[in-house]
């Protein structure tokens, strides 16, 4: 029998750089449809855990947690009010998928409560509201991120690499982006995105957010000098936009056009044309598949002899990922906390 002095000592703890950090404890504020997608992302992201769900009633919070598998996997605390969620000391960060009209109130309240803010898009109804949200986060020293998922896909980084390459793309001169989907009658009558008191920006704030983001991303967020709306936008009886578009002009002659709609077939198209090359992607918002995403790049294109084809042909680039883009977004947000 070993004496106490000869007993094996416990192994030393691993060096700090090898220790796995504690997951960020999320609170989900509201049980909107998009929140189901983010709940799954938080189950998949290694650096995240859902600590609490808050809704307008505890019964709604419980139903959401059961439906999404959170109750079984993470056993979150269930709150029957948003105030209770923000008062929960076991919540580090809040994901807000509420209607846009509620963003400024609850995002600033979350920041004041010391919670990091992952805010669903569109972030606000106007620039002044977004400024208030950012100021509140800055004053509280908390992280802010908008939930634009495609920005976090590794394909986006690869596209950025090629767009920024002078030899491949050259100077970006023309950008076109389009995001539309054909909404059914139930959506057009009852969805929050067609209600002026909930999401008054309509398709501009929903699908148009992505189209505009794609354009600004393509020009490294240089703001245009002039924006002119396209004629004849489509509105519902309450005045909410169902289809619209605009053309953007820069001082150096760059031009971009976007369209967005709830009335036409599902399309997620982005084309970036430079002096040396053209990038084209047909699923830029949500890839056709979770594990693979592709785009085409044509560079130094010319007509083939006798103008019977192209030379060289565009190249197809395929980028794989182990996690869906929404989980990568959650992971990046968690690591930046």
Residue 121 appears among annotated catalytic residues: yes
Instruction: Give me the pLDDT at residue 15, please.
Output: 57
Identify whether 134 is part of a domain: yes
Same structural domain, 134 and 198: no
Identify whether 10 is part of a domain: no
pTM of the predicted structure, to 2 decimals: 0.91
Identify whether 282 is part of a domain: yes
Instruction: Give me the pLDDT at residue 306, please.
Output: 87
Write 196-199 long-range contacts (CB < 8 A, 24+).
196/238, 196/239, 196/240, 197/101, 198/99, 198/100, 198/101, 199/99, 199/100, 199/101, 199/122, 199/240
Same structural domain, 160 and 299: yes
Q: Indicate the SS3 state at residue 219.
A: coil
Q: Which domain holds residue 134?
A: 20-147+327-335
Q: Write out pLDDT tens, residues 293-321.
A: 999 999 999 998 888 999 999 999 999 99
% the chain with pLDDT above 70: 94
Q: Looking at 37, 121, 158, 316, which residue is catalytic?
A: 121
Total structural domains within the chain:
2
Instruction: Give me the pLDDT at residue 14, please.
Output: 54
Indicate if the alpha-carbon torsion angle 109, 110, 113, 114 is positive or negative.
negative
Same structural domain, 126 and 29: yes
Same structural domain, 176 and 259: yes
Same structural domain, 33 and 123: yes
Of 217, 85, 79, give the one whose Cα is nearest residue 146. 217
Q: Look at 336 and 163; give whichever has higher pLDDT.
A: 163
């Amino acid at each position: 029998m070993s004496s106490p002095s000869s007993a094996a000592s416990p192994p030393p703890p691993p060096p700090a750089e090898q220790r796995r950090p504690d997951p960020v404890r999320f609170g989900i504020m509201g049980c909107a449809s998009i929140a189901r997608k983010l709940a799954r992302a938080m189950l998949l992201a290694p650096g995240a855990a859902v600590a609490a769900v808050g809704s307008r009633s505890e019964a709604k919070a419980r139903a959401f947690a059961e439906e999404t598998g959170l109750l079984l996997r993470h056993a979150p605390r269930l709150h029957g009010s948003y105030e209770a969620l923000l008062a929960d000391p076991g919540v580090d960060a809040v994901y807000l998928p509420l209607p846009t009209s509620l963003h400024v109130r609850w995002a600033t309240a979350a920041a004041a409560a010391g919670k990091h803010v992952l805010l669903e898009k569109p972030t606000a109804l106007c620039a002044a509201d977004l400024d208030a949200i950012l100021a509140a986060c800055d004053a509280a020293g908390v992280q802010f991120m908008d939930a634009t998922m495609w920005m976090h896909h590794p394909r986006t980084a690869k596209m950025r690499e090629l767009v920024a390459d002078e030899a491949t793309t050259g100077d970006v001169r023309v950008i076109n982006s389009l995001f539309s989907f054909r909404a059914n009658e139930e959506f057009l009558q009852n969805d929050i995105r067609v209600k002026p008191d909930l999401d008054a920006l309509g398709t501009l704030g929903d699908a148009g957010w992505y189209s505009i983001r794609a354009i600004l991303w393509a020009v490294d967020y240089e703001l245009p000098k002039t924006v002119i709306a396209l004629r004849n936008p489509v509105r519902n009886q309450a005045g909410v936009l169902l289809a619209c578009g605009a053309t953007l002009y820069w001082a150096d002659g760059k031009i971009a056009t976007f369209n967005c709609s709830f009335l036409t077939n599902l399309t997620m198209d982005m084309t970036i044309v430079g002096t040396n090359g053209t990038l084209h992607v047909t699923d830029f918002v949500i890839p056709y598949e979770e594990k693979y995403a592709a785009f085409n790049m044509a560079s130094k294109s010319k007509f083939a002899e006798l103008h019977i084809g192209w030379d060289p042909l565009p190249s197809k680039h395929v980028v794989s990922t182990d996690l869906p883009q929404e989980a990568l977004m959650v992971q990046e947000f968690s690591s930046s906390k």
